[in-house]
A and B are shown apart, each in its own frame.
Chain A
Amino acid sequence: MDSIKDLMPIIIVIGFFQLVVLRQPIPNLADLLVGTMLVVVGLTLFVYGLKTGLFPIGETMAHGFARKGSIFWLLAFAFALGFGTTVAEPALIAVADEAAKVAAAGNMIENTEMAIADYANGLRLTVALSVGVAILVGVLRIIKGWPLHFLIIGGYAGVVVMTGFAPPEIIGIAYDSGGVTTSTITVPLVTALGVGLSSSIHGRNPLTDGFGLVAFASLTPMIFVMGYGMLL
């Protein structure tokens, strides 16, 4: 029943603005109630599945790789997980299409359907590649015990430098693409991978070393997308 508590704020906000600020009745009240019920049920099932399914899968695999001791396969897995989960991400597909339209409007590419579709696909692959690289580097960091903030500060520096060179039209989309790439299923898996790895490697602390994969995965797309905008 925690799920109801989680949803209360949205219901209050929407109710308040609709009734008090906009002063309009709420349309399709029945639809709304059924929909809210579905959301509550869905969230409850998701959180249950998270604890019994996703977290244990991520952690057992992390332990398995640590026991196997092959860095190559671990890094291959990290890259595949980052790339594979991002390339099919619906939020990313939406943003890539939007970005292609911007590019066409800004005369960066030809305003034909072909060119736009090409551009959007290229962008998607770029972002997926960047997330794969991010998870790979992040896992390498956990193994080697590098401090996270060096990577993040390096990434920030990369973003700032790229901003200076990238075409202005692409900057807004590039910055946003960092946030949308990490999906609801990827996040728990990647977090469990990081925590599992750092708890099975001697001398790593799961709290300071295990987290940080998601952070890095939302930073690299910004750099890669600006790079993509500059090349084309």
Chain B
Amino acid sequence: MIAGILDFFDVLIATIRDVLPIAAILFGFQLFVLRRRIPNLQQLLIGFAFVIVGLAFFLQGLEQALFPLGKMMAEQLTAPAFLGIDSASHAYTPDWHHYVWVYLFAAAIGFSTTIAEPSLIAVAIMANQVSGGAVGIRGLRVAVAIGVSVGIALGTYRIVSGTPLEYYIIAGYVVVMMQTMVTPKTIVALAYDSGGVTTSTVTVPLVTALGLGLASNIPGRNPLLDGFGLIAFASLCPIISVMAYAQLSEWQANRIKKQRLRSQEK
């Protein structure tokens, strides 16, 4: 118990150290450039403290509970013994459909870690406020999570098949650009942002473990060269899924409108 408390203080100090430069910049500019008294200073400081303490609890809990288990599972699922592959024989070439459980795990872990991602919660809350409730907090987060889960599953398939990362990413860019033309303008910026925010505290450690485990267990893959790229998938696919979600909602709204018009004509 005492060890746990000491651990927590370590994490708390580390978090404060990470936040220190940010706080210095904020207060430096506020004091020396804006030179204005901050309204509700006390409340803001309390809020800031809540963020730091909350983040420290959050990280400590992840370190203690979910990360070790998640990383261990990523290693076990990618181990040749579990997959029933005899990778020691030289005749073996990786065959993508031996890894179905890996794809499923990748998709599931991508979805579930994204739902818990604090920075995505922040952006969803902000988008909800700014749009006057038109963008639902849960809807946006689920749309992003679906994107991440598809992205990570695709990324693991890429590691297994050994195809070059840039082909997938460039193809993704083309899809994003085409969608940009037809998606409702109000959602485009938000969709772009949701790509960057999805991958932070919760997702990155688990997904990196999955990528490295996979690349080091498949013959012919170098973990240093092939283990990367999952994060890139996870930040690209949500852009596509959020725009698709917006298009779908618009299409549905239009259809209801048309139906209503039709019933009025009758």
Closest partner residue, chain B, to A206 (CB atom): B130
Residues on the B chain within 8 Å of A90, using CB: 14, 18
| B113 at the A interface (CB under 8 A) | yes
A114-171 interface with B by 8 A CB criterion: 148-149, 152-153, 156, 159-160, 163, 168-169, 171
Q: Is the interface of B mostly helix, strand, loop or mixed?
A: helix
Residues on the B chain within 8 Å of A223, using CB: none
User: Which residues of A line the B interface, CB within 8 A?
Assistant: 6-7, 9-10, 12-14, 16-18, 21-22, 26-27, 31-57, 60-61, 64-65, 68, 73, 76-77, 80-81, 84-85, 87-91, 98, 101-102, 105, 148-149, 152-153, 156, 159-160, 163, 168-169, 171-173, 175-176, 178-180, 182-189, 191-192, 195, 199, 205-215, 217-218
Q: Is the CB of B225 within 8 A of A188?
A: no
- Identify B189's interface contact among A98, A179, A215, CB under 8 A: A215
Known: A18-B69, A148-B192, A185-B22. A60 touches B47 (CB 8 A): no
| B234 at the A interface (CB under 8 A) | yes
**Distance between Cα atoms of A88 and B188 in the complex (Å):** 30
B61-118 interface with A by 8 A CB criterion: 61-66, 69-70, 73, 76-77, 82, 101, 105, 108-109, 111-113, 115-116, 118
Closest partner residue, chain A, to B53 (CB atom): A45
Q: Is the CB of B48 within 8 A of A49?
A: yes
Residues on the B chain within 8 Å of A54, using CB: 47-48, 51, 122
Residues on the A chain within 8 Å of B130, using CB: 195, 199, 206-207, 210
Q: Is the CB of A184 within 8 A of B55?
A: yes
List of 4 A-B pairs having minimum Cβ-Cβ separation, nearest first: A53-B47, A35-B65, A49-B50, A45-B54
| B244 at the A interface (CB under 8 A) | no
Smallest distance from the beta carbon of A193 to chain B beta carbons, Å?
Answer: 10
Q: Is the CB of A9 within 8 A of B119?
A: no
Smallest distance from the beta carbon of A58 to chain B beta carbons, Å?
Answer: 9
Q: Is the CB of B50 within 8 A of A53?
A: yes
- Identify A53's interface contact among B34, B51, B195, B201, CB under 8 A: B51
**Distance between Cα atoms of A189 and B176 in the complex (Å):** 26
Smallest distance from the beta carbon of A188 to chain B beta carbons, Å?
Answer: 4
Q: A39-B58, A175-B231, A214-B197 are in contact. List 16 more A-B contacts (CB 8 A).
A: A10-B66, A22-B73, A32-B64, A35-B62, A45-B57, A53-B43, A53-B45, A77-B33, A85-B25, A156-B176, A175-B166, A180-B204, A184-B118, A191-B122, A191-B193, A215-B189
Number of A-B contacts (CB under 8 A): 344
Q: Is the CB of B200 within 8 A of A56?
A: no
**Distance between Cα atoms of A198 and B66 in the complex (Å):** 39
Q: List 27 A-B contacts (CB under 8 A).
A: A10-B66, A10-B202, A18-B69, A31-B64, A35-B61, A42-B55, A49-B49, A51-B47, A52-B47, A55-B122, A57-B47, A77-B29, A81-B22, A89-B18, A172-B227, A175-B228, A178-B232, A179-B195, A179-B199, A179-B235, A182-B196, A185-B18, A189-B22, A205-B186, A207-B190, A209-B189, A214-B196
Closest partner residue, chain B, to A104 (CB atom): B224
Q: Is the CB of A10 within 8 A of B123?
A: no
Q: Is the CB of B26 within 8 A of A61?
A: yes
- Identify B112's interface contact among A13, A35, A52, A77, CB under 8 A: A13
Q: Is the CB of A183 within 8 A of B109?
A: no
Q: Is the CB of B47 within 8 A of A49?
A: yes
- Identify B61's interface contact among A42, A183, A191, CB under 8 A: A42
| B229 at the A interface (CB under 8 A) | yes
Q: Is the CB of B199 within 8 A of A180?
A: yes
Smallest distance from the beta carbon of A200 to chain B beta carbons, Å?
Answer: 13
Residues on the B chain within 8 Å of A192, using CB: 126
Smallest distance from the beta carbon of A222 to chain B beta carbons, Å?
Answer: 8
Smallest distance from the beta carbon of A115 to chain B beta carbons, Å?
Answer: 16
Q: Is the CB of B226 within 8 A of A172?
A: yes
Residues on the A chain within 8 Å of B119, using CB: 182-184, 187-188
Q: Is the CB of A217 within 8 A of B196?
A: yes
Known: A84-B25, A214-B197, A215-B189. A52 touches B43 (CB 8 A): yes
Contact with A along B125-143 (1 / 0, CB 8 A): 1110011000000000000
